Copies of this chain bind each other. A is one copy, B any other.
Amino acid sequence: MKHLLLLSAWCVGVCAGAAGQDAKKYPDPAPMTHDMSEFWTPQPKIVTPPDMDNAVVAPPSDAVVLLGLKDNAISEWVNCEEGKPVGWQIENGIMTVKPHSGSIRTKKDFGDFQLHLEWSAPTEIVGESQGRGNSGVFMQGMYEVQILDNYQNETYANGQAGSIYKQTPPLVNACQKPGKWNTYDIIYTAPRFKEDGSLQSHGRITVLHNGVLVQNNTMILGTTEFIGFPRIVAHSKGPIILQDHLNPVRFRNIWIREL
Contact = CB atoms under 8 A, between A and B. Distances in A.
B48 A61 contact: yes
A41 B29 contact: no
A219 to B, nearest CB: 7
Given A41-B19, A60-B174, A206 B229 contact: no
15 contacts: A26-B40, A29-B38, A30-B38, A50-B60, A51-B58, A52-B57, A55-B57, A185-B208, A187-B206, A187-B216, A189-B217, A192-B201, A201-B201, A206-B217, A229-B229
Given A22-B43, A36-B228, 9 more contacts: A29-B39, A30-B36, A32-B36, A50-B58, A55-B55, A201-B201, A206-B206, A213-B257, A217-B217
A5 interface: no
Residue of A56, A60, A171, A228 with most chain B CB atoms under a 10 A cut-off: A60
A114 B47 CA distance: 14
Interface in A144-201: 154, 156, 171-172, 174, 185, 187, 189, 192, 200-201
A185 B50 CA distance: 15
Contacts of A259: 171, 213, 216
Interface in A204-230: 204, 206, 208, 210-213, 216-217, 219, 221, 228-229
Nearest to A38: B29
A37 interface: yes
Interface string A48-80: 111110011111111000000000000000000
A104 B222 CA distance: 35
A23 interface: yes
A195 to B, nearest CB: 9
A61 B47 contact: yes
A116 B192 contact: no
Nearest to A190: B200
A42 interface: yes
A84 interface: no
A219 B219 CA distance: 10
Contact of A43 (B21, B41, B211, B216): B21
